[in-house]
Structure 1
Amino acid sequence: MARRARKFVSTVLFLGIVVAGGAWFATKPEPWPAAHWEGLRAPDLSHGEQVFWAGGCTSCHAAPGAQGDAKLVLTGGLPLKSPFGTFHVPNISPDDTAGIGRWTLAQFGDAMTRGVGPDGQHLYPSFPYGSYARLTPKDVNDLFGYIKTLPKSPNVAPPHDLPFPYNIRASLGGWKLLFYSDKPRVPVDQANAKLVRGQYLVEGPGHCGECHTPRNALGGFQTDLWLAGAPNPEGEGQIPNITPGSKTIGDWTEADIANYLETGFTPDFDSAGGSMVEVQQNIAKLPAADREAIAAYLKAVPAR
């Protein structure tokens, strides 16, 4: 009897190890192979700056309330409240100690597009790597080169303040398995270069879906409601619907949307408010053709 019990326990332990090993293998961090970053030329800093503004880097990584040139000091520290706890945005200035000054291109690219930190750990999706996953190696190389030209900051951001079980970083592998994707969110006419560009900007560096799309209980996108509006993650108000079915912008023309993104003024001479102010100011720095492409995409997505 005792021998059977020992055999049963040994079998259960063995199966537990197999299951745990399989789960780890399925959810382990997956950086890009080294070849993904090889063969790139010296960064195009002008293009890197465009990716920088399209990605809204200053909106989260500059010090709260920063204005003018101070917005280019990517000091971090901004608290991002969420249903899962409070995330603190890191310093991504070129500082060697507090920032990313010692990072390699591969480390930066893996963080941006794979959600893998320089230490090989999963990053929390409060950093929108699920959207930045659409960036090409050239985009990443140019952006990294541009960021390295910006001022250094010695500020050390506080650690995330997350309750159990959200503070278990290893669990993020399961989240990625369920929700991480570098595929387009909605179909568009791939023969239409303007729409393709708009989709790239909105779904990729612009990461518009991160705020404008509702999420399920685990924080994954409800993709059938893409850009249909969502509760403000910080608990106050509603992020608006920006599909053609919106009561707010559904009747706007492409020209209306492009003008709003450039000037901040609606067709009714109202102005952007809340967190959209900084988003609009960032997009205003892009070429007019990019704003027109964003407008074309927003008029082409399914109405909700």
Structure 2
Amino acid sequence: MLTAPAPLEASYGAGLTADPDAGALVFAAGGCASCHTAPTAEPSDGGPPVLSGGLAIVSDFGTFHVPNISPDPDAGIGSWTLAQFARAVTQGVSPEGAHYYPAFPYTAYHHLAPQDLVDLHAFMMTLPASATASVSHDVGFPFNVRRGLGVWKKLYLHEDYVLAGEHTPEVSRGRYLAEALSHCAECHTSRGPLGGLNRSQWLAGAPNPSGKGRIPNITPAALDWSEADLVEYFTSGFTPDYDSAGGEMAEVVRNLVQLPQSDRAAIAAYLKAVPPVPNAPAE
């Protein structure tokens, strides 16, 4: 009872009409290509991404290998139903009923609206298929016992937003984009000993997984950029001091620039609305 995967109705999405063009924006906001495109892939020059996977994510719990999520029916997700896709994305559960590791940010995607899931699925089914086999994770005992992830989800799969309460439509949209789709906290929030996000330190910075420096605090306690500065950064990658986004943040900017300017403005408004949290002591 404690570890069983959460169910999802087989009729998920019934009555909703899929819009692949809208799904392309969900795909960009979610940063799907950033992880699921092969690390050795050449730039597509505007062509559709091939989601063959292969990126290795090194963590304290082992090395996770990002899977193939292309429409290939055997190597990818082409044979999945919409309900199976939605359960995987929002609950972290495979079509076979096994828990996925939270290297896949389903704790954020848990908040996705059904229409966005329907649109995302429709768009992804238009992308090129790849027959590249997914690589198994390199995770040792006890973390290779996936049933234990059911308990982990009880602790860290939250129904509520961190920025609680009623807000303006712009801030509410920014909350949805930042806390759900774009999952900003996955990098900008520190984690506890079990790998769950420390919600009391929301967006207050975290150690860089590369071991070099820290990912910055982006709450108002440390980030004094104006909303206009933030929108410009999300659009061009340039900071108010004319520095430019680098590393994984450069990839985030490439994703955000595909969204309407109103969405980038909404994320900026959200970041000005989150509670200020001082920088955590260096670990």
TM-score class, shorter-chain normalisation, is: over 0.9
Aligned partner of 2:19 in structure 1 is 44
Q: Is the 8 A contact 1:130 1:182 kept in 2?
A: no
Aligned partner of 1:184 in structure 2 is 161
- 2:82 matches 1:105: yes
Offset at 1:233? 2.6
Structure 2 gap segments, 5+ residues each = 278-283
One-letter identity of the residue aligned with 1:46: D
Task: Give the secondary structure class of the aligned counterpart of 1:155.
Answer: coil
One-letter identity of the residue aligned with 2:272: K
Q: 1:202 aligns with which of 145, 161, 178?
A: 178
Q: Deviations over 1:73-127 (max 9, x none)?
A: 0010100011100000000000111100100000000000011111111111000
Q: What pairs with 1:96-175 in structure 2 (closer than 5 Å)?
A: 96-175=73-152
Aligned partner of 2:32 in structure 1 is 57
Q: Is the 8 A contact 2:12 2:82 kept in 1?
A: no
Aligned partner of 1:294 in structure 2 is 267
What fraction of aligned residue pairs are identical, expressed as a percent? 53
One-letter identity of the residue aligned with 1:56: G
Please give the alpha-carbon distance, in whole angstroms, between the structure 2 residues aligned to 1:144 and 1:216: 32
Offset at 1:163? 1.3
Q: Is the 8 A contact 1:82 1:233 kept in 2?
A: yes
Aligned partner of 2:228 in structure 1 is 255
Task: Give the secondary structure class of the aligned counterpart of 1:184.
Answer: coil
Offset at 1:65? 4.5
Please give the alpha-carbon distance, in whole angstroms, between the structure 1 residues aligned to 2:122 and 2:157: 26
Q: Is the 8 A contact 1:62 1:71 kept in 2?
A: no
Task: Give the secondary structure class of the aligned counterpart of 2:63.
Answer: strand
Please give the alpha-carbon distance, in whole angstroms, between the structure 2 residues aligned to 1:284 and 1:65: 23
One-letter identity of the residue aligned with 1:303: P
Aligned partner of 1:212 in structure 2 is 188
Aligned partner of 1:227 in structure 2 is 203
Please give the alpha-carbon distance, in whole angstroms, between the structure 1 residues aligned to 2:142 and 2:187: 24
The CA RMSD measured in Å over matched residues stands at 1.2
Which structure shows the higher helix fraction?
A: 1
> Across the two proteins, how many residue pairs are aligned to each other?
275
Q: 1:244 aligns with which of 220, 234, 241?
A: 220
Q: Deviations over 1:180-238 (max 9, x none)?
A: 11321122533x10000000000001000111110100011111110000012343321
Offset at 1:34? 2.4
Please give the alpha-carbon distance, in whole angstroms, between the structure 2 residues aligned to 1:282 and 1:220: 25
Offset at 1:136? 1.1
TM-score normalised by structure 2 residue count: 0.94
The structure with the larger Rg is 1
- 2:261 matches 1:284: no
